[in-house]
Amino acid sequence: MDPASADHAHLWHPFTQQRGWVGEQPLVIERAEGTDLIDVHGRRYIDGVSSLWCNVHGHRHPRLDAAVRAQLDRVAHTTMLGLSHPPGIELARRLVELAPGGLQRVFYSDSGSTAVEIALKMAFQFWQQQADAAARRRIRFVALREAYHGDTVGSVSLGGIDLFHSLYRPLLFDALRAEPGDAADLERILTSHGDEVAAVVVEPLVQGAAGMLIHPPGYLRSVRELCDRHGALLIVDEVATGFGRTGRMFACEHENVTPDFLCLAKGLTGGYLPLAATLTTERVYEGFLGEFEELRAFFHGHTYTGNPLACAAALATLEVFEEERTLEHVAELDALLDEILEPVAALSAVGEVRRRGLMCGIELTGFPLGWRMGHRVTLEARRRGAVVRPLGDVVILMPPLAIGASELRRLVDTVREAIVAATDEVALAAAA
């Protein structure tokens, strides 16, 4: 059986209506090089969404490849339950060094969803272990409308995207919902519920899965201040924004904020291997200390927690940030994008272009859901040699940070041509 038929026969893809999937030829990627993906027929495509928002320095980067191979010659996997290992130890030290001051402890897991799940369970248990009975009443969470924090049940409870989350409501705990970017709304919620709130959870600056929803400047700072005033912990989900996507290593740095929990995944290994980290403060950590029989340990862990190969890839990723001055390169691309996105924003099918750093959403307007305009644009882009993936009718552009200026121009041009082709085709069909 050829790979395409075997895919159709046996695979079930994430976030995919399989009835539509089996009606199209799948693009089967066999190899990659830098910012190009290469399919089984040898055709090349620019990786316009960093292989789902995680690739940083490009594919098959010699430094990352060598780091994973070197670790493979030592050990591929051991465990963090009862044992430790050098790449896990060294990576924790490096992450603490890089993260906003005050985040001293690193708890590993393997996806963005688990990084957030861990933060919310830690925050909950932290309050349950307080001597003060009033503190133990802090059992609720505040999350933003249109939030996305992953697909496990706890993370889905915090999620606010109806399309993904509303069906599961009966299964979930109830979060208090704040309006994104509106500090006054959060203040209102905390004023009436402040002493029940364990933590406020936010994606900083940009709500990615909401379609690149951008918060106004100063919002994150206000969220931190409101949490402090009402005694709530702050969980910042930097799974998408972390590792340079917004122009700084972490989005929190733009507003000088130290959260109580920092959730990292996606770009942590440069897009090589599944690894996540939940960073927290000494204050939270100390809330779990006690005699064995007090049972204050954090009873949570995954088999592949802190996998050594993944930690080695993460350490190399952080080194390459310095060697290649990645953040300076992103600043150059940021300026370039201002210029090259103008002709895209000018298209009549485009309602708005939203962007922070290398996180960009191009919103198409005026098309009924059933037309799947975002998807049509994706197919047109693919024909022209670029892989992008939409969120509904928002076309997402989020290339690897290492993309060159000319490739970035080519990617944006391709997407512009794809939008023109897809919307023309629909206009013609409507006229016929």
Ligand X SMILES: *Cc1c(COP(=O)(O)O)cnc(C)c1O
Residue ranges in contact with ligand X by CB under 6 A: 111-113, 116, 148-150, 203, 208-209, 237, 239-240, 265-266
Cβ proximity to ligand X, 107 vs 349, nearer residue: 107
Cβ proximity to ligand X, 262 vs 422, nearer residue: 262
Report the nearest approach of ligand X to the CB of residue 242 (Å). Answer: 9
Cβ proximity to ligand X, 206 vs 341, nearer residue: 206
Cβ proximity to ligand X, 186 vs 209, nearer residue: 209
Cβ proximity to ligand X, 150 vs 287, nearer residue: 150
Q: Residue number with the shortest CB distance to ligand X?
A: 112
d(CA 45, CA 374): 18
Report the nearest approach of ligand X to the CB of residue 374 (Å). Answer: 17
Report the nearest approach of ligand X to the CB of residue 315 (Å). Answer: 19
Exposed / middle / buried, residue 143 (Cβ in 10 Å: 0-12, 13-18, 19+): buried
Report the nearest approach of ligand X to the CB of residue 41 (Å). Answer: 29
d(CA 305, CA 88): 10
Report the nearest approach of ligand X to the CB of residue 134 (Å). Answer: 31
Cβ proximity to ligand X, 168 vs 366, nearer residue: 168
Report the nearest approach of ligand X to the CB of residue 311 (Å). Answer: 16
CA 78 to chain centre: 27
Report the nearest approach of ligand X to the CB of residue 206 (Å). Answer: 9
Cβ proximity to ligand X, 115 vs 418, nearer residue: 115
d(CA 160, CA 148): 7
Cβ proximity to ligand X, 273 vs 373, nearer residue: 273
Report the nearest approach of ligand X to the CB of residue 112 (Å). Answer: 2
Question: 74: closest CA among 267, 305, 311, 276?
Answer: 311
Report the nearest approach of ligand X to the CB of residue 59 (Å). Answer: 18
Report the nearest approach of ligand X to the CB of residue 354 (Å). Answer: 15
Report the nearest approach of ligand X to the CB of residue 215 (Å). Answer: 13
Cβ proximity to ligand X, 50 vs 111, nearer residue: 111
Cβ proximity to ligand X, 239 vs 315, nearer residue: 239
Q: Which residue has the tokens 């040898």?
A: 42
d(CA 320, CA 108): 21
> Would you say 171 and 113 are in contact if contact means Cβ atoms under 8 Å apart?
no
HSE-CB of 402 using CA atoms within 13 angstroms: 24
Cβ proximity to ligand X, 109 vs 222, nearer residue: 109
Whole-number Cα distances in Å, 88 to 213, 267, 275: 34, 17, 11
